[in-house]
Chain A
Amino acid sequence: MKIAVCIKRVPDSETRVKIATDGKSLDEAGVKFVLNPYDEFAVEEALRRKEQAGSGEVVVVCLGPAAAQETIRTALAMGADRGVLLQADKIPTDPFESAKVIAAELKGSSWDLVLFGRMAIDDYHHQVGPLVAELVDLPCVSAVSHVEIAGTTGVAEREIEGGIEVVDFSLPAVLTTDKGLNEPRYPALKGIMAAKKKPLDVKPVQLGRGALEIVALKPPPERKEGKIVGEGPAAVGELVRLLREEAKVL
């Protein structure tokens, strides 16, 4: 089974991010970058599929800056076989431009499965996986939280509002992975040491400007200090009045 896993280098969700002086990008100084958490599900799923099949190859593809080699090596440490860095100076703000570059790389080989995290936690677009599927002309199931594959067909489950949607698909296919699909493994220490010896191709890519532009980034408004209305049953009337008249939530 030959599987491509497309990953992204994103700021750690625990990092306190600062907006750069241009007002529309992040100040990367002192920011820790990690493998996008949703992509960890994709890497884990690929490794399990390969282990189940008994043979195959898991190739990690990442569009990103030179420093994303470290992110690729995280996936290699988990057990992926080789990596490809599509090296760009800047990640485009337009997901379609990213999708075009990744699709061009994927078209060079044939794949049984192409996996993405369902979204990147930095821009929340949810777009690149489905866009790539369209560009490489493969079926796509997004936000997969459970999957069974037998031969050249699969059944995927997606958590939707109030229920589970079950989708049949045929391989090869593009899946984007959601929480609940699996429990990603910790890279074993031996794996971390082995990762540097695994092949990692670096391919410079040219990205189009795209049609989207970020105009401004703003932090969410600071939460106002809470107000204690009173204590005990006596305070209920006043609380209800404030919720209705001031907060306007009732």
Chain B
Amino acid sequence: MAAKFQGVDFYQVDGLLSEEERAIRDTVREWVDDNLIPIIGEAYVAGKFPKQLIPGMAELGLFGANLPEAYGCAGLNNIAYGLIMQELERGDSGVRSFASVQGALVMYPIYTFGSEDQKKNWLPQMASGKVIGCFGLTEPDYGSNPAAMITVAKETKDGWVLNGAKMWITNGSTAQAAIIWAKTGALDQPDSIRGFIVPTDSKGFSAKDQKGKLSLRASDTSELVLQDVHVPKDAILPKSGGLKSPLMCLTAARYGIAWGAVGAAMACYDEAVSYAKQRVMFGKPIGGFQLQQARLADMLTEITKAQLLCVQLGRLKDEGKSTPQQVSLAKRNNVSMATDVAREARRLLGANGILAEYQALRHLANLESVYTYEGTHDIHTLILGQEITGLNAFN
């Protein structure tokens, strides 16, 4: 059996964590080592989300872990939540995505914009993994510009009728419930965007796997089509209103991604270090050559910076002081950093680096998706640009 992952902690960042935070991190780390790492290579090659992991994740309490215990969740702070995402993505971005969507994009909006009845009905079932959710915002023609979405919800006597299509929907074919964002007014009124809880067995609702992915292969990604889908009046999230609501969900998810990326980077760095010490070429371990040392030194430096970014962002979030722009900075930096680390690790591993038996290329391919989803790297650049200058460069 491979050695257990020992973490990467060059700056004693562990010392910034409480005993509970460390215990939670270590528990998830061990669970990932025991349950995820042994199966992930095969699941990735097969292009299958490892569904069998869902009950174990639920039992640990990983879904919506930063939501209150009153709704069956673990009631953790945001640092502990971030550490969970870090450890899951140390295993695979697809599995972390699954948990991110369930927690930050499905349970969070129900918790934040839902009625008390909706919260009581859905959250405990979702925390226990009995109900899996997905989040439908992006459309085939509207990715970075969700305000222009064309999915609509028309009010009827006894409820709503939804029409439209959503794309790149993680968990889309697995989910029993979808959070669908739709315009309740005219197409030029993004303020009329509202969220709906749509059971995926509703008549007119269909989900189709997106085939041919070369990234996030151990994740379910689907296209959703809603054709005259009737939902009752109480399907609407009453406190949702305007594009701001789904964007708040994205900020919640991006926060977890900033941590997750550190996990993927640590996995690649760890693999690269161990390979560099063992692989002998020209009569000595390749770790003894300057080019590989430069690679490893850069990786460690960037990982350490990203770790510190996460801890401070998490503390600010726990104090209610974090801004969406700060989350953008962390998502942008950390995912880009992790992509670079994965690429360099892949190269350090030489030909072996292209095999599923090693992690680096799987992480690299995954991270190219993470770089693009939840606000592309470029969009986060513009968010920061606007924050710095006060000038909008989006259009």
Contacts and interface: CB of A to CB of B under 8 A. Distances in A.
B76 interface: yes
A111 B19 CA distance: 31
Interface stretch (B20-28, B144-152, B299-307, B328-336): B20-28
A10 to B, nearest CB: 15
Interface string B62-85: 100100010000111000100010
Given A188-B59, A188-B60, A193 B20 contact: yes
**B contact patch SS:** helix
Interface in A72-108: 73-74, 77
Given A193-B75, A193-B76, A186 B23 contact: no
Interface string A182-197: 0000111110110110
Contact of A70 (B19, B60, B69, B74): B19
A74 B59 contact: no
A231 B366 CA distance: 42
Interface string B4-30: 101000000000000110011001001
A14 B3 contact: yes
Contacts of B6: 14, 32
A73 B23 CA distance: 9
Contacts of A14: 3-4, 6
Q: Which of A70, A186, A192, A193 has the most CB of B within 10 A?
A: A192
A189 B74 contact: yes
Q: How large is the interface on A (under 10, 10 to 19, 20 to 34, 35 or more residues)?
A: 10 to 19
A188 B61 contact: yes
A187 B23 contact: yes
B275 interface: no
Q: Pick from B23, B65, B76 the residue with the most CB of A within 10 Å.
A: B23
Interface residues of B, number: 21
A192 B69 CA distance: 13
Contacts of A187: 23, 27
A70 B22 CA distance: 11
B31 interface: yes
Contacts of A70: 19, 23
Nearest to B14: A32
B19 A189 contact: no
Contact of B31 (A77, A186, A190, A193): A186
Contacts of A74: 23
A144 B59 CA distance: 28
A118 B62 CA distance: 33
A196 B20 contact: yes
Which of B20, B65, B80, B84 gathers the greatest number of chain A CB atoms within 10 Å? B20
B75 A192 contact: no
A103 to B, nearest CB: 30
B31 to A, nearest CB: 6
B27 A189 contact: yes
Contacts of B74: 188-190, 193
Contacts of A193: 20, 74-76
A189 B62 contact: yes
Contacts of B76: 189, 193
Contacts of A32: 6
Contacts of B4: 14
B266 to A, nearest CB: 16
Nearest to A187: B27
A195 B61 CA distance: 15
B23 A190 contact: no
Interface in A146-192: 186-190, 192
A33 to B, nearest CB: 11
Contact of B30 (A186, A192, A195): A186
Contacts of B60: 186, 188-189
A188 B69 CA distance: 13
A190 B19 contact: no
Nearest to A13: B4
A39 to B, nearest CB: 16
Given A14-B6, A186-B60, A189-B80, A73 B27 contact: no
A195 B60 CA distance: 15
Contact of B65 (A73, A186, A189, A195): A189
B61 A77 contact: no
Given A14-B3, A14-B6, A190 B75 contact: yes
A195 B27 CA distance: 14
Nearest to A34: B26
* A-B complex: 10 closest residue pairs judged by Cβ atoms: A189-B61, A189-B74, A192-B23, A190-B74, A14-B4, A188-B61, A190-B61, A192-B24, A189-B24, A186-B27
28 contacts: A14-B4, A14-B6, A32-B6, A70-B19, A70-B23, A73-B19, A74-B23, A77-B23, A186-B27, A186-B31, A186-B60, A187-B27, A188-B59, A188-B60, A189-B27, A189-B60, A189-B62, A189-B76, A189-B80, A189-B84, A190-B74, A190-B75, A192-B23, A192-B24, A193-B20, A193-B74, A195-B23, A196-B19
Interface of B: 3-4, 6, 19-20, 23-24, 27, 30-31, 59-62, 65, 69, 74-76, 80, 84
Given A186-B27, A189-B74, 5 more contacts: A32-B6, A70-B23, A189-B60, A189-B62, A190-B75
